[in-house]
A and B are shown apart, each in its own frame.
Chain A
Amino acid sequence: MANRIARAGGALMLVSVLALSACSSGTGTDGGTDAAGCTPSDGPVTLDFTTWLPGMEDAAAIWNEKNPDIQVKVQTGPNGLGGTYKNFFNQIEAGNAPDLGQIEYDALPNFRVQDGVVNIAECAGVMDAQDDFIDWTWSQVTFGEDDAVYAIPQDTGPEALFYRADLFEQAGIAIPTTWDEYAEAAKTIRAEGGYITNFSQSDINAFAGLVWQADGQWFKNDGEAWDVTLDSPESTMVADYWQGLLDDDLVATLPAWTDEWNNGYNSGEVWSWVSAVWGANSITSGAPDTAGNWAVAPMPQWTEGDSAAGNWGGSSTAVLKGSEHPYEAAQFALWLNTDPEALASMNATANIYPATKTGGDLPAFSEGLDFFGGQNIYDVFAAAGAEVNPDFTWGPTMTQVYTDVADGFSGAISGSSTLTDALKTGQQKTIDAMKAAAIAVNE
């Protein structure tokens, strides 16, 4: 018996050593090719694609069937900030990153600054695709550089106003078209015992969407150094506006994405939500009892008669540093984000809203939804998408910005500080963080 155990133990060791050496002959760890040499590889290639969109295998299967020589293997992980971005950076460092990765627009500058994404401008068809995509998404992936494309836009989150049509009508409130009217409506609704909306202390990118709509900028890069303007006049104006609503207890402050928050909408306590197109899913699942009573209108405006819109969220598909097949990877990324069949597949499995100009024409977006009283809400979002300011730029340290500003915002919610102060503090901390990361900042 003793011998048997000893032998088993030895065999196990042997197996593990064999497995290790077998694996080491797999993926190579050589550096990638430069964009200048974006040429097809010889022979069949296999691409790894890491994304957290569920059901991406379906879209990849369509591609794999049509392209036997370029097989795409889908790998998954948690959402970007949940760990996948960290993994990408670790893998780039170790030289075994996947060929393709999903990167949200607000994280892309970080990858650009750390040289983690490949410039695919020279790859066939990439520059020609510019006209297929909504203008602002293209500037997100080029950073305004000439002859540079660092990713292919995938989806967007144009914003509009979700509101309880039934409650607004009962209270005799016209749908607010300006932020002033919105604040007035907030008072009426508060008198009725409800809240017009919920102010989230944690969704800093949603707040950025509001600043985006107000034509504000948080970051700018002149090619050499960054300007940080978290406390720009537009940004401060938006912060002051919401601070006013908070001071008068006109907005709820439920922690976002919790059951409490869902319940606020489900119970009719909270009447409206300025959110992105994907917010339709959140509200449909979070407030099932209110089905049929919602409607969507364009965002309230700062200037009457304008039609500016903000954006919240959206991803791109990037070729990561170290990929040995940038040409094939770029071809797949292009196909994935422009081909109607691929877009329809991703919409079916992951509810994505495409970044292409014609993406809104998909059959899935042409019907009215029962949850919204039969309204075709995607018409509103398609119109909003065309109005998003193309010049908005994300900074290279957004994770830090979100954390620091959220800290300040929770202080404002508890009354110990203000949103404007939070932006000022965030401004300074961002500059410090960028300097610490050896990123040039203009002061």
Chain B
Amino acid sequence: MSAPTTSATKKHQGPRESLFSRSGAMLVMAICTFYFLVPIWWLFVAATKDRGDFTSSAPLWFADFNLIENIVNLANYRDGLFFQWMLNSILYAGAGAAVATLFATMMGYALAKYSFPGRETLFNVVLGGVLVPATALALPLFLVFSQVGATNTFWSVFLPSIVSPFGVYLARIYATSSVPDELVEAARIDGSGEIRTFFTVATRLMTPAMVTIFLFQFVTIWNNFFLPLIMLRDEKLFPVTLGLYIWNSQVNQIPEIRAYVSSAHCCRSSRSSSLSSACSASGAVG
């Protein structure tokens, strides 16, 4: 019984590679892994050091373990401003991505399921929007928000964040292939309005795409640095990326914040890297 199974698996695996090429591949992978992990390791180790050890001890190994103390100092520095920034980032990125997902899904669904004049033109314009970098739009947006006196507000960062042309593209492709016309038709015959059909039928089928759009947009907003840099002046509104950049630019003035910046970066990056890995995983699903 066991013999045929093994032979079947063997057949499935194909010809066995030589030890040499296998270990060669492993070596390359190991070097890559090392290369990608070292900066994160360094960040973690640096976050555990006090200011003196930071420059004088071996950069990739622990000196006196001060992680807790550093984090406590970070929490106390300027009345816990860092956590306010984290909260802001989560709000900008979380709420922004949720609204962006809703809008993108609606539009993608509409483009996929309704035929109307100018549909392809509209889609192409949106697709073109994917190619316009957010950085290039920051200054025009600043001038627009200045016109209505809304710079340096929560909305100046939030509103531009709820636009996701890539999400529209993804939602359209996904809706075309996963929401059958027959189903929409059936819903209509059963007396469901268009909006109700969208929320009760289409979104159920489009959930994988929506999760992907949400995560992509979350990471995009989280990492968007230039827009808050231009829009915001009140430090209570800063997202964590901008706040840390500003602290980092003050290190020469106030050397003690150096330790905070590295431990703050450590807290922040552990969060966003776990998110981005979640994102790439779901991207594969979507």
Asked if B249 and A54 sit within 8 Å, CB to CB, the answer is no
Asked if A94 and B143 sit within 8 Å, CB to CB, the answer is yes
Asked if A79 and B148 sit within 8 Å, CB to CB, the answer is no
Cβ proximity bits B239-260 to A, threshold 8 Å, 1 near / 0 not:
0000001100110111111100
Q: What's the least CB distance linking A167 to chain B, in Å?
A: 17
By a CB distance below 8 angstroms, the chain A residues around B200 are 1-2
Contact of B188 with A by CB under 8 A: no
In chain B, what residue has the closest Cβ to A80? B249
Asked if A16 and B56 sit within 8 Å, CB to CB, the answer is no
By a CB distance below 8 angstroms, the chain A residues around B233 are 48, 50, 75-77, 87, 98
By a CB distance below 8 angstroms, the chain A residues around B143 are 90, 93-94
Asked if B258 and A288 sit within 8 Å, CB to CB, the answer is no
Asked if B52 and A288 sit within 8 Å, CB to CB, the answer is yes
Contact of A262 with B by CB under 8 A: yes
* Residue of B55, B102, B155, B250 touching A9 (CB-CB under 8 A): B102
User: In whole angstroms, how far apart are the Cα atoms of A399 and B256 in the complex?
Assistant: 28
By a CB distance below 8 angstroms, the chain A residues around B258 are 285
Contact of B181 with A by CB under 8 A: no
Best-surrounded residue of B54, B147, B255 (most CB of chain A within 10 A):
B255
The interface stretch among A25-33, A103-111, A117-125, A416-424 is A25-33
Contact of A95 with B by CB under 8 A: yes
Contact of A408 with B by CB under 8 A: no
Q: Give residues of chain B (113-167) contacting chain A, Cβ–Cβ below 8 Å.
A: 139, 142-143, 146-155, 158-159
Cβ proximity bits A394-424 to B, threshold 8 Å, 1 near / 0 not:
0000000000000000000000000000000
Best-surrounded residue of A9, A52, A77 (most CB of chain B within 10 A):
A77
Q: Give residues of chain A (1-25) contacting chain B, Cβ–Cβ below 8 Å.
A: 1-3, 5-6, 9, 12, 16, 19-21, 23-25
Asked if A25 and B149 sit within 8 Å, CB to CB, the answer is yes
Best-surrounded residue of B55, B158, B229 (most CB of chain A within 10 A):
B55
By a CB distance below 8 angstroms, the chain B residues around A282 are 252, 255
Q: Give residues of chain A (132-170) contacting chain B, Cβ–Cβ below 8 Å.
A: none
Asked if B196 and A2 sit within 8 Å, CB to CB, the answer is yes
Asked if A286 and B230 sit within 8 Å, CB to CB, the answer is no
Cβ proximity bits A353-378 to B, threshold 8 Å, 1 near / 0 not:
00000000000000000000000000
Q: Determine chain B's interface SS by DSSP, over half rule.
A: helix
Q: What's the least CB distance linking A369 to chain B, in Å?
A: 14
User: In whole angstroms, how far apart are the Cα atoms of A94 and B146 in the complex?
Assistant: 6
Best-surrounded residue of A20, A29, A50 (most CB of chain B within 10 A):
A20
Asked if A23 and B230 sit within 8 Å, CB to CB, the answer is no
Contact of A59 with B by CB under 8 A: no
The total of chain A residues at the interface (CB under 8 A) is 56
Asked if A26 and B52 sit within 8 Å, CB to CB, the answer is no
Q: What's the least CB distance linking B205 to chain A, in Å?
A: 15
Contact of B51 with A by CB under 8 A: yes
Q: What's the least CB distance linking B285 to chain A, in Å?
A: 24
Residues of B within 8 A of A (CB): 51-52, 54-56, 59, 78, 99, 102, 139, 142-143, 146-155, 158-159, 195-196, 199-200, 229-230, 233-235, 245-246, 249-250, 252-258
Q: A48-B233, A76-B235, A281-B253 are in contact. List 13 more A-B contacts (CB 8 A).
A: A2-B199, A6-B199, A19-B153, A52-B246, A54-B254, A78-B229, A90-B139, A93-B143, A96-B151, A278-B252, A281-B252, A282-B255, A289-B56
| 10 shortest interchain CB distances as A-B pairs | A285-B255, A94-B146, A75-B233, A288-B52, A2-B199, A262-B55, A79-B249, A24-B148, A23-B150, A24-B149
Residues of A within 8 A of B (CB): 1-3, 5-6, 9, 12, 16, 19-21, 23-27, 29, 48, 50, 52-54, 75-79, 82-83, 86-87, 90-91, 93-96, 98, 257, 259, 262-263, 266-267, 278, 281-282, 284-289, 349-351
What are 12 of the A-B contact pairs (CB < 8 Å)? A1-B200, A5-B199, A20-B148, A20-B150, A52-B249, A77-B229, A79-B249, A91-B146, A278-B252, A281-B252, A288-B52, A288-B56
